[in-house]
Structure formats: structure tokens, C-alpha cells
Amino acid sequence: MKAKVTTQHNRGAATIFKNPFLESLTKTSLKQNIIVYGLVVLLLIYNAIYLKEISVFTFIGLFIFTSFFWTYAEYILDRFVFHWMNENSNAQRFKYLWRHRSLHHYKHPDKAFGVSNTFWDSVFGTMPPKKS
């Protein structure tokens, strides 16, 4: 079976930016990301509930809706847009490290389009086969 998608296979650390300062910002640890983004998320939650006086139930509803919408948008963009822009240098900046994404890029080019989760792959029947 001929692959529908042509993917470059790069070994080692990929360079995303030519500028050394910007490139250094892409080399962060999981702990750094949790601290920085965790603080930002906590501040935004505080702002929404206490300063903007959004009710907790409204906040939870908005959170669920936006999570659903964002993961769906990620899935659609990757499946139908990013792979058509393979030659575009801006599209090359998107590097995904998750195992699920590795299956998409290295084993099953017509499966595993989900970036941060597998929900939409389950919905649309694009889950890769399970190991036997």
C-alpha cells in the first residue's frame, strides 16, 4: 500500500527557529512548562471567577465547551490543513512529540491525526491498530 502522506523522518533534536534566542525558548523541561502554564491557568481561573464574577458552573461549562472545540479544531487542522502545507516553512515549526503523533508520522500516515489526545481519532475511526 502506497502512503498517502509523505513525511520527512528527522533524527535528533529538530531546529525550529534560526534565531538562537527563540530556539533556546523551545528547549524547556516538563517541570518548567507545568510551573509557567500552571501559574497562568490559576491566574486566569482566579480572574474569571473572582474578578469577572463568572459563576463556577458557567466556568466549568465554558471550560468543557472550549476543550471540546479546541481538540476538534486541532484534529481538523492537522488532518486537512497541515499535511497539505508540508513545503511551507511556517508549517515546519509545528513539531509534535507525543507517541500517538509518532505513530501517525512514522507508521500509519492515514491514522492518528489527534495532536494532544485521541478522542477525535476514536470518533472518526482514525485510531491506529493496537499492538498485538
pLDDT of res. 9: 52
Digits of tens for pLDDT over the chain (132 positions)?
A: 454 544 555 555 667 778 888 888 878 888 998 999 999 999 999 999 999 999 999 999 999 999 999 999 988 887 776 655 555 555 454 544 656 667 766 677 788 887 767 888 888 888 888 876
AA letter at 56: V
pLDDT of res. 96: 43
C-alpha span between 128 and 122 (Å, rounded): 10
Cell numbers of 84, please? 497539505
AA letter at 3: A
Domain boundaries, the chain: 18-54, 69-132
pLDDT of res. 82: 61
C-alpha span between 45 and 26 (Å, rounded): 26
C-alpha span between 87 and 42 (Å, rounded): 38
Q: Which pTM does this prediction carry?
A: 0.48
Q: What phi and psi values does residue 90 have, to the nearest 5 degrees?
A: -65, -35
H or E segment to which residue 91 belongs: none
pLDDT of res. 5: 47
CA gyration radius, the chain:
18
Q: Is the dihedral of CA 126, 130, 93, 68 positive or negative?
A: positive
C-alpha span between 106 and 45 (Å, rounded): 38
pLDDT of res. 30: 84
pLDDT of res. 36: 92
Confirm if 62 and 111 have CB atoms less than 8 A apart: no
